[in-house]
Chains A and B, each alone.
Chain A
């Protein structure tokens, strides 16, 4: 169960990362993973096992679209680009993410416990 929840959280994050990466320009799957790695200074590595299912899922949902084209070294490659819907979704996901980060930070940076007893007696 615990494993499941973590995977799910990760999945949402992967989606966000992919959408962000594609918002910078169309790219094939390998390129997307490279781009995320580069942008995060090699900290975030999207597992290939999650990357492609995520790309296909996003495509199925209409957030990205895929087209067979030529790669830089002229090989046939499946190139993904973000759709208008995908861009909108990126916006909302990004705001959610910011809220999440903020919340995490305020918890993690807290130095003293909130006065719960005062609140309880107020109720």
Chain B
């Protein structure tokens, strides 16, 4: 400790100012001069001789400063200043190096920040790795993740020990009444213990009491902190007051702490009621509950899954009619939330790493090119007596200035990139709101590029200073040690082209998939169509009669608006994977499928006019009409897939079917009146399910989507449509208003995002590789100028020189192509699941990528090659 203090004191004391050194020098020279004068010399000569004994004063000063270890700070400052001056002498190179570093650092950091948050980092709940989704699965029907029924859930809850708790939740939009008009809020009905399971804490008031949940309808609600602040001014007095949700009154009993809502952005929690509502013939068949669980302490997911398999098998045995082939699947909640974006995100991240690698190699390449210039400068300075350590330090300082500037720029770009990415990303990318710049990644990326630049920056410094200066000055850059660097750089170029090729192929594959998807005929006409979501509340529209009346006046009033070509309603236009419906039985083919293996059929209710409004073609028969009265036989239109699967070989119109299995007299038979074309409403890559469209006039539903086809621009209809709905029912909120076109585009938004980014990465990689090969070829040509000159003087054809240099460049690119091809095949296999409408090893994509790569390589080599061919023999021989 004492020694350390002493050192520090000495370090501080040791800081001798230049002025003091100067004064000491002056004193010495004066004394010496005075002595010389005494010995008889005249004034001028005495001064000259006195100075001469010091040799170079500059060098002397440096030696004095070096003698004091503490001078290093000043040295560093001076080195950096020299470094900046050196860089300013070669601005293009500096810009290229700084730009490359910045690009590499920012791309990797920005992408990783998003990927990490979206796909990798744990969910924000306490011990979130214990949280699992509990799904019903039915492999025979191709259903892997389905909701479950209340009786199933109760059985699971009773039986499980692997899950310490398990709860249901049913998210749905609710209308919150207020003085400023109704507002839609994200509501969720939860079963007992949901808050404790997720880890959501209540900051004011309380959660639900036991008797409030799972029984009859209890009108209590917990609101989110966000809603508490936005609607109630963060005034705790809201506790105990009543709010109107979907026209029912709820007492606010608690406010949840911010940040721990599940599903995210939930604004209102209400208890799940299981005692009321429509009585189902078999409640076990009504699959409507989403389930989450928390693994018991020390229980692995696999062990819990084994237990669930046992429970599932027992339930299958106990309830063979409904649970045939039905199992239970546990899935980490993280996977449920992050879902299918996982792979694309990782592909993007790998691409960013690839770009960073190429960028780093390029920096190394550029710095090695610099080395050629610098090595002569260094040799000169070494010959003039500069010490080796000093020179190395100086080269390091130059590199550090380049890397530092690039790093700072990269950090700024990364921050901007994260903002841009979150803005450009599709809104359905999960957890996007949590994304921020990841400082750990930023520092890693910085360290990687800076480290690489320092290492490769040092190569010229160490090599040069080890070789005798004379050799370098004589050889002027053609020594054998330079040959080694040419080989190293050729390896770099090959590596770069290999990586660039992989990126090109990946981008190309995804781009073709995207184009294929966009080219898929959705089966409906999205142009000039508007869709408006409405959700009729239970209290205001308690029965079918009320809902039918609403639907009727809706169609009447909208249909007479100017520019409206057709209008109709459907229960939900765009559907996701988890849809309602079930198996059916055809009257004339009751035993077509074994119980439990019947394919699932999607069910929608459509109004008269819907098929026209949506632009769907009726293949045979007709659509539902007003004349199909409520008391008549219920009618249904089926799609072509339904016909293929259930009615193969039969005339569909006139056939009758029942949901599930017929059960005697009570069976509700539907009569098929028409067939429509298949539609891909779950997105172009989703398989088409068999679908049934019942008449909304006969069986009006609570949720409906109005589709309005315009004769012109669909958006122009918006004000009139809004006004019409408000006229029919001023308290009816519109849940969603969009054009079918934008909705269709949204379904591809995620892919478009990934394709764009990957495309940018691929182009960046190719550009960097081009810079790399250009640098190498330009360097080689520079080294061989003299040789080319001699050959030209001896009568070599210019064209031959051109071809030779080009050939060399193409050879490197071809090497990259060969290695990259192998890598690309592997990568293509990995992303096979993301592809649509083409094989992983697609000849067109691979061919196009190869052609592009070679073309870019040729273009990049053309300038150096031309320079080789246009060497002036005389000049080359004189200067070379």
Q: Which residues of A contact B (CB under 8 A)?
A: 28-30, 47-49, 52-54, 56-57, 59-60, 62, 71, 75-78
Specify which chain A residues have a CB less than 8 angstroms from the CB of B69 in the assembled complex.
60
Specify which chain B residues have a CB less than 8 angstroms from the CB of A49 in the assembled complex.
53-55, 59-60, 63
Q: List 9 A-B contacts (CB under 8 A).
A: A30-B32, A48-B60, A49-B54, A49-B60, A52-B28, A53-B60, A60-B67, A75-B27, A78-B24
Specify which chain B residues have a CB less than 8 angstroms from the CB of A57 in the assembled complex.
67-68
3 nearest A-B residue pairs (beta carbon)? A57-B67, A53-B67, A56-B67
A47 to B16, CA, bound (A): 22
Specify which chain A residues have a CB less than 8 angstroms from the CB of B64 in the assembled complex.
52-53, 56
A86 to B28, CA, bound (A): 23
Q: Which of B15-48 contact A (CB under 8 A)?
A: 16, 20, 23-25, 27-28, 30-32
A54 to B6, CA, bound (A): 21
Interface size class of B (residues with CB under 8 A): 20 to 34
A76 to B54, CA, bound (A): 21
B283 at interface by CB-CB < 8 Å = no
Among A30, A53, A54, contact of B27 (Cβ-Cβ < 8 Å): A30
Sample of 16 further A-B pairs with CB below 8 A, known A48-B54, A60-B14, A62-B10: A28-B27, A30-B28, A48-B28, A48-B53, A49-B54, A49-B60, A49-B63, A52-B24, A52-B28, A52-B63, A53-B64, A53-B67, A60-B70, A77-B27, A78-B20, A78-B24
Interface centre among B10, B14, B24, B55 (most CB of A within 10 A): B24
Number of A-B contacts (CB under 8 A): 60
- Provide the main secondary structure of the chain B interface: helix
B66 at interface by CB-CB < 8 Å = yes
Interface centre among A53, A71, A77 (most CB of B within 10 A): A53
Specify which chain A residues have a CB less than 8 angstroms from the CB of B20 in the assembled complex.
78
Residue pair B24, A60 in contact (C-beta under 8 Å): no
A78 to B23, CA, bound (A): 9
Residue pair B24, A54 in contact (C-beta under 8 Å): no
Residue pair A53, B63 in contact (C-beta under 8 Å): yes
Specify which chain A residues have a CB less than 8 angstroms from the CB of B14 in the assembled complex.
59-60
A29 to B6, CA, bound (A): 25
Residue pair B10, A29 in contact (C-beta under 8 Å): no
Among B24, B53, B70, contact of A29 (Cβ-Cβ < 8 Å): B24
A80 to B120, CA, bound (A): 66
Residue pair A76, B23 in contact (C-beta under 8 Å): yes
A49 to B56, CA, bound (A): 9
Specify which chain B residues have a CB less than 8 angstroms from the CB of A29 in the assembled complex.
24, 27-28
Specify which chain B residues have a CB less than 8 angstroms from the CB of A77 in the assembled complex.
24, 27
Residue pair B28, A53 in contact (C-beta under 8 Å): no
A48 to B25, CA, bound (A): 10
Name the CB-closest residue of A to B56: A49
Residue pair A60, B60 in contact (C-beta under 8 Å): no
A76 to B26, CA, bound (A): 11
Residue pair A54, B54 in contact (C-beta under 8 Å): no
The smallest C-beta distance from A15 to any residue of chain B, in angstroms, reads 11
Residue pair B67, A54 in contact (C-beta under 8 Å): yes
Name the CB-closest residue of B to A61: B10
Among B6, B31, B66, contact of A53 (Cβ-Cβ < 8 Å): B66
